[in-house]
Structure 1
Amino acid sequence: MTWSPITMRWPAQSTSWLGDLDAAKALAATELASTGQRLSGLADIATTAPGPVGEAAQGAVAAGHSALAAQLGQVPACLVITPFQSGIGQGRGHQKYLSAPNLLQQLASKLTDVGDSARPAGEQYALAVMFLGTRYDQFADTLGRFNALLPIPDLVRTERRARHLSTLEQEKWVIPSAGALPRWGALPLERCTVVKAAKQSMAGQIAALESYADSSPMADLAGLAGRKAEKARARDKKLADLQALLAGGQADGSMRARLIGPGSPADLRRDLLQGDAPGHEWVLSAGVLLVGSREGLSFVRELVGL
């Protein structure tokens, strides 16, 4: 057998079904124009009435916005210290370490850092949270439990890096086995220029034809209301499950928190360094220091059980 030369051409037989839709496309365009005229005629006739729920709903919405504004109106200043920040952790290469006492010194020094114009000032409270570990996988698990409730970008990046370092440490001695090449796969028809052009040409027309399928507007509205109610029940269940999970929580020794204040930054620094603190046996640690009013710290304070 010989190799035949290839001639690129339009697949007329494979795309013959496009011509079968010309009549339906013309009908859809006509009906769309007619529907627009009918809706314009109903603009002055059709009205909506919220009923007795409208006034109550407006009051609930106003109360909800007020509660959110009161809760989020006093956002505390936030400082995050992790081993992987430049100049913070000790170690070589990608592996960095930061013991708990050194973390505490870093947090305290930032309270009186005159080179940082964004440092807090005035009489305020401070909430310090420490995350402790001796191995990268344990450290990542501890951060993951906190990030599931209050994801702070620096802590999320630290969790991800610690997880990757733990995986690297476990898998660096594993020799992967690869099968013989090449391997079978599916033909990527979605990348074909003909297929992409046909999809782009017919997407809008198919949507217009589907809108004229035999259906009842009232049934569609009832289905929409049912779906919205189902989504509301799902959200309520998710919130209830989270509340039940947090209600049955146990003390986690790998996370420590402390509330100090009120006082000036110098006073907060002094109080933060006083008292018993985790020692150098915790070679991996990260910390969050929140400074603000007592009301502004109330949400996180309750979240960590203080």
Structure 2
Amino acid sequence: MTWSPVAMRWPTEATAWMNQLGAAQALAGGELASTGKRLEGLQQHATTNPGPVGAAAQGAISAGRQALAEQLSDAPACLTITPFQSGVGQGLGYQRFLSAPNLLQALANKLTDTTDEGRPQGNQHALCLLFLATRFDQLAASLARFNALMPVPDLVRAQRRAEHLAKLETEKWQIPQAGQLPRWQPLPLERCTVLKAAQQSMAGQIAVLEGYAADSAPMGDLAALAGRKAAQQRERDQKLGDLRRVLEDDQASSLIQARMLAPGSTAELRRSLLDGNAPGHEWVISAGALLVGSQKGLSFVREMVGL
């Protein structure tokens, strides 16, 4: 078994349920568009007709909720190890180091740690991710690629600390330039006693006038609400499309390596994890994540990292 460079991909198979809801999304989008037109025509009427979409939407609602529940119901167990965790990394002060072989050994030891009540039990599949670096900015960049799609809390904290340490290494050599004192600054008119009294006197009257200015017809408010909902849906669809296009162009990086482990007990997974050619001690700053669960539960992350 070998380690493979990771290219972040859109998990097409694991998110196939989203395509199955295309008809429901089209139905909802069409209804939002027609709602605004219907409300415009109801300005002079006292009653409204919700239309036949309510009954038709019940099946789409049930399918959508069931698909989301199935996607989240079989989440694998996750173990993350970073150089900055207590008792893990080597070094003094803020500078902490953890080479790739030591990282693998720490991940393997946790598989058979009987003191951890959350340790996986039984025959399971496993997916191991290694984030390799020789500098803190490298580690931060590798973690940022993964955290953008799967923000594991420990990895997010490690990314932030690596970013701060890289910034510290750069900025500690810069000598700040202090300008000549004193400096220009805006006049604090908000502290003026006259303006304070005027604002307090006018605040209540302005609030009453704003209430009259905001008075509008209920049908107009409903039409505006339907327009905002349609705009929000278009914005969400645009963000999802942009994310998929970005992942289509992602290139494989040797700084993130992944490996699937054959199913077995925790002891067997430990032996499999330590077998084979692994990254060496030249990668002095490393972090890792080990996901253990069913084959279905791991399918989402496995497809996302291109395995």
TM-score by length of 2: 0.78
Greater relative CO, 1 or 2 (CA 8 Å, sep 6+): 2
Aligned counterpart, 1:151: 151
Q: Report 1:65-214 matches (<5 A).
A: 65-188=65-188, 206=206, 209-213=209-213
Separation (CA, whole Å) in 2 of partners of 1:196 and 1:267: 74
Distance across 1 between alignment mates of 2:156 and 2:196: 39
TM-score in terms of structure 1 length? 0.78
- The farther-off stretch of 203-212 and 158-167 is 203-212
* Structure-1 separation of matches of 2:174 and 2:156: 28
How far residue 198 of structure 1 moved from its aligned partner, in angstroms, is 8.2
Q: Distance in 2 between matches of 1:87 and 1:193?
A: 59
Q: CA deviation digits over 1:272-298, x for unaligned, max 9?
A: 111111111111110011111111111
Alpha-carbon distance between aligned partners in 2 of 1:293 and 1:196, rounded to the nearest angstrom: 66
CA shift in 2, pair 1:176/1:220, >3 Å: same
- Gaps of at least 5 residues in structure 2 are 1-45
Please identify the structure whose Cα radius of gyration is greater. 1
- What is the Cα deviation at residue 185 of structure 1? 2.5
Q: What is residue 261 of structure 2 aligned with on the other side? A: 260
- Write the deviation string for residues 155-175 of structure 1: whole angstroms up to 9, x where unpaired: 111111111111111111111
Question: Using the alignment, how far apart are the partners of 1:262 and 1:203 within structure 2?
Answer: 69
Q: Write the letter of the residue equivalent to 1:63.
A: A
Match of 1:230 in 2: 231
Q: Distance in 2 between matches of 1:273 and 1:200?
A: 72
SS in 1 for 2:151: coil
Deviations 1:20-45 (A, max 9, x none): xxxxxxxxxxxxxxxxxxxxxxxxxx
Shift of 1:180: 2.6
Tell me the equivalent position of 1:297.
298
Q: Deviations over 1:227-271 (max 9, x none)?
A: 221111111011011111112222111111111131111011011
1:212, distance to aligned residue in structure 2 (A): 2.6
Deviations 1:180-216, CA, capped at 9 Å, x for gaps: 3333323455578997898789778755543432644
Identity of aligned residues (%): 68
Displacement after TM superposition at 1:57 (Å): 2.2
Partner of 1:10: none
Displacement of 1:49 in angstroms is 4.0
What residue number does 1:287 align with?
A: 288
2:221 & 2:205 partners in 1: Cα distance?
21
Q: Comparing 264-273 with 190-199, which one deviates more in the overlay?
A: 190-199
Specify the SS of the correspondent of 2:128: strand
In 1, distance between residues paired with 2:266 and 2:194?
67
Change (3 A) 1:185 1:305: same
Q: How many residues align?
A: 262
Distance 2:292 2:55 in 1: 40
Distance 1:212 1:161, change over 3 A: same
Segments of structure 1 that go 5 or more residues without pairing to the other structure are 1-45
How many angstroms apart in 2 are the aligned matches of 1:144 and 1:151? 9
- Distance change in 2, residues 1:191/1:164 (3 Å): farther
Q: CA RMSD in A?
A: 2.6
CA distance in 1 between partners of 2:64 and 2:204 (Å): 40
Q: 1:201 to 1:225 in 2, by over 3 A?
A: farther
Query: How far apart, CA to CA, are the structure 1 residues paired with 2:103 and 2:247?
Result: 28
> For the residues of structure 1 that align with 2:221 and 2:282, how far apart are their CA atoms?
63
